[in-house]
Amino acid sequence: MRIARFSADDEVGFGLVDTDSDSGEEFVARLSGHPLLGDIKLTGERARLSDVRLLSPVLPTKVVCIGKNYADHIEEMKGVTGEPGEEPVVFLKPSTSVSGPHDPIFYPDLSERVDYEGELAIVISRPCREVPRERAKDVIFGYTVANDVTARDLQQRDDQWTRAKGFDSFCPIGPWITTGMSIEEAQNLAITTTVDGRTRQDGRTSQLIHDIPDIIAYVTSFMTLLPGDLVLTGTPAGVGPVEIGQEVSVTVERLGTISNRVVSRD
């Protein structure tokens, strides 16, 4: 299933995204209730997908990110960040950095270089702590697309990455949550990032150094994850800068595309 969060006629809700068998047009069928809390039902209302505004599919309490999780990305980042160890590199983005699949990315006045980082994101289904590898599938609600936008100059300048990763609008996600996908399927998906239509990143989740069960087990060994929390799994090689006026699009195979224009906050 594809579960979207959207606004239409000044109302915000959740819906199932599907394709009309006759017209071939995509539509969203409104749901009652919250998908992560259970007890949801179709209301019978539906709208063309093109007539609604897609919002971030979840509002997480936190965004947990895994850095340096693709070997080719580690190579290209030599001299920017330190060498990785045997354990995953973990950092956080605030919930206020999360934005929708077509919302603008605001270029901060504090930075002179802002980079895109296309990623696969995991959506957590329930409160969990100390999850063993073999139980990882039990705490995954689904998957979505993310862009871990980074003020690269601030990342180089600071001893830690909070400021560089934490600006408002620096975590666009969407366009919806895809459920029913196995971990094995999620670990063999193409990730592509384009800037103004030109391909900049072209990788696969099969290249992950730390796989999804490892990531879940490691993060929950020291942190409780809550329903709707996001875990970003890392970015492949090809990261680079974007300028005001450019549009960056991240596509994850079978999950969809997010496209966000970079704008000035003025």
- CATH 3.90.850.10 intervals, the chain: 63-264
- Residue 83: which H helix or E strand, with range? none
Predicted pLDDT of residue 184: 98
* pLDDT, average across residues 31-56: 94
Q: Count CB-CB contacts under 10 A for residue 184.
A: 10
What are the pLDDT digits (tens) for 102-143?
999 999 999 999 999 999 999 999 999 999 999 999 999 999
Write the CB contacts of 241 (distance below 8 Å, at least 6 apart in sequence).
Answer: 113, 114, 115, 152
- CATH 2.30.30.370 intervals, the chain: 2-54
The CATH code of the domain at 2-54 is 2.30.30.370
Write the CB contacts of 223 (distance below 8 Å, at least 6 apart in sequence).
Answer: 64, 129
Both tokens assigned to 161: 């990455």
Instruction: Check if the beta carbon of residue 176 is closer than 8 Å to that of residue 200.
Output: no
Give the residue from 98, 6, 89 showing the smallest Cα distance to 50: 6
pLDDT beyond 80 at 200:
yes
Domain 63-264 in CATH 3.90.850.10? The answer is: yes
- Lowest-pLDDT range, 29-43, 81-95, 123-137, 170-184? 81-95
Dist CA 76 CA 237 (whole Å)? 7
pLDDT band at 21 (very low <50, low <70, confident <90, very high): confident
pLDDT beyond 70 at 152:
yes
Predicted pLDDT of residue 81: 63
DSSP class of residue 68?
A: S
Dist CA 207 CA 187 (whole Å)? 8
The torsion angles phi and psi of 219, rounded to 5 degrees, stand at -60, -45
pLDDT band at 84 (very low <50, low <70, confident <90, very high): low
Residue type, 149: V
pLDDT beyond 80 at 55:
yes
* pLDDT, average across residues 252-257: 98
Dist CA 261 CA 140 (whole Å)? 30
* pLDDT, average across residues 31-45: 93
Dist CA 251 CA 8 (whole Å)? 25
pLDDT beyond 70 at 79:
no
Predicted pLDDT of residue 83: 63
pLDDT band at 77 (very low <50, low <70, confident <90, very high): confident
User: Is omega for the bond preceding 104 within 30 degrees of 0, making it cis?
Assistant: no
Both tokens assigned to 263: 């704008």
